[in-house]
Structure 1
């Protein structure tokens, strides 16, 4: 079993910082409201809790000829022998996207399925997938 960390560069960092700073700024502007009713902070803390969960719980692994992705509530397993194509250096803007960064890998498998992953090292994951299934077509965008 090999585990790949997610690439944590880009927009996710700004979203996480913004979701943490916003309640702090609002708290300092109106401390009295928050000290009288602290539950009012709950709607502000929910998005930051979700973003933090996604941030720390996104990873990928290869185990028993399966590529497993895990990103908070998004989880899945792909049989590596069903992977048809890997597109490197592209970003998928819709669909299943358990990734935190752009310029990752679009993995096409089965007949019409695809998933977008963004490991820290794209080349390492590609090499490991090609070792198991050398029939995978690799498309690199420059």
Structure 2
């Protein structure tokens, strides 16, 4: 099953505003300011390609639950967590950096000391499905 990430409005505005603003400033500087070749390359990389990459990551953040793995996909990145390694899941608002676009998150503990924060749109449904598929899972 595929679960899209919940997106907080304030976070979407912050991401979109800063990325589009950065792209606009970079394009303006490349077009209207007299720049050397290396300055144009730097502006292109830092003010256009990097923000486009960040938007790509935001657009593609989702979580897949199959019979054996939880797969976290965000941009070109993919994290595969075997379901039999997941030991705990709980609701949280932890603001640590993670593949989550909302502060309404789930903290998933796996292996012995590993942790990931995700933000599926329907946290309760996600927890129910996870509880049904994971033998050793505890819900807090």
Q: Scaled by the length of structure 2, what TM-score is found?
A: 0.80
Residue 21 of structure 1: aligned partner: 21
Trace 1:1-142 onto structure 2 (pairs within 5 A).
2-9=1-8, 10-24=10-24, 32-33=32-33, 39=40, 41-42=43-44, 43-91=46-94, 93=96, 97-133=98-134, 135-139=136-140
| Post-superposition offset of 1:27 | 5.6
Contact 2:22 2:51 in 1 (8 A): no
**In terms of mean alpha carbon deviation, does 63-72 or 83-92 score higher?**
83-92
Contact 1:104 1:118 in 2 (8 A): yes
| Post-superposition offset of 1:132 | 1.1
> Any idea what SS the aligned residue of 1:120 has?
coil
Q: CA RMSD in A?
A: 2.8
| Post-superposition offset of 1:102 | 1.1
Mark the CA change 1:80 to 1:92 in structure 2 (over 3 Å): closer, same or farther. farther
CA shift digits 1:64-99 (9 cap, x unpaired): 2211101124311111122111021332515xx221
Q: Scaled by the length of structure 1, what TM-score is found?
A: 0.79
Counterparts of 2:26 and 2:116 in 1: how far apart (Å)? 38
Q: Which runs of 5+ in 2 are unaligned?
A: none
Q: Which runs of 5+ in 1 are unaligned?
A: none
**In terms of mean alpha carbon deviation, does 111-120 or 127-136 score higher?**
127-136
Contact 2:67 2:133 in 1 (8 A): no
Aligned residue pairs: how many? 136
